[in-house]
Structure 1
Amino acid sequence: MPVDMDRERFEELVGEALDEVPVELLSLMNNVVFLVEDTPADGSDDLLGLYEGTALTDRGWDYAGTLPDRITIYRLPTLRTCESEADVIDEVAITVVHEIAHHFGIDDQRLHELGWA
């Protein structure tokens, strides 16, 4: 059974997950925003997070002046995959780390090898 959680509480959990990321790592992030949305625009129900932008490893001299990269965490798909608030806390933390890794140029295959897929 999906977890029932309002958007405000879910956003708190995303903030708490970000608070757990080492400051040294966060300080290396550049031109990126974190967002919470209820569902992906494409309507998929199994996408928990999405990184949209240009990974730090792919940025060149022509990157200046671009809009911020976006890391979006999706509330409803996450709640559907979890059975308790503790599960949501864990899943949000994993998803936040997973999407941050994409910002640093780490692809899904490598994340899977590392146990973060």
Structure 2
Amino acid sequence: MSDDGQPCQIAPTRAQIETLALEALSRLPDPFRSHLSNVVLFVEEFADAQVLKDMEIDDPFGLTGLYSGRPVGDPAQTGDSPPTVHLFRRPLLDEWVETGVPLDALITHVVVHEIGHHFGLSDIDMQVLEDMVAP
């Protein structure tokens, strides 16, 4: 119990974040979903130091998600790793608390943005897609 007598809420786990991300992916229209079978989803606490350095981000709370890989339509090359989407739990939770945006909506926003990179979408196209799959 908190000081005001209300039950304390436990921060969502990596598994719970992953479940919300997978639910967001499942709401994507079929033309998108059919091109996601090789995309690997990771939920980590934070981006690693090298990623933050490469992206010139000083604050580890400044990155909530990251797409790595070749966009759909770019020819694959021998030795390519599968495309990945990384969600960073702690920065997501901080943004959730700071903004008051429902967690499922925040996760959907980040997932759609990162998947948008997989498809080479513009920011406007990503917003249209997000509006289509909003929880």
* TM-score normalised over the length of structure 2: 0.68
1:13 aligns with 2:20: yes
- Structure with the greater relative contact order (CA < 8 A, sep ≥ 6): 1 or 2? 1
Extract unaligned runs of 5+ from structure 2.
1-9, 53-59, 128-135
Residue 93 of structure 2, aligned match among 72, 75, 79? 79
Extract unaligned runs of 5+ from structure 1.
none
In the alignment, the residues of structure 1 paired with residue 81 and residue 125 of structure 2 have an alpha-carbon distance, to the nearest angstrom, of 30
The residue aligned with 2:109 is 94
The change in CA–CA distance for 1:64 and 1:22 in structure 2 (over 3 A counts) is: farther
CA RMSD of aligned residues (A): 2.6
Query: Which stretch shows the higher mean deviation, 30-39 or 67-76?
Result: 30-39
**Larger radius of gyration between Structure 1 and Structure 2:** 2
SS of the equivalent of 1:51 reads: strand
Query: Which stretch shows the higher mean deviation, 7-16 or 82-91?
Result: 82-91
User: How far 1:65 sits from its partner (Å)?
Assistant: 5.0
* TM-score normalised over the length of structure 1: 0.77
Instruction: Note if contact 2:40-2:82 (Cα within 8 Å) is conserved in structure 1.
Output: yes
The change in CA–CA distance for 1:64 and 1:27 in structure 2 (over 3 A counts) is: farther
Which amino acid is the alignment partner of residue 50 of structure 1? L
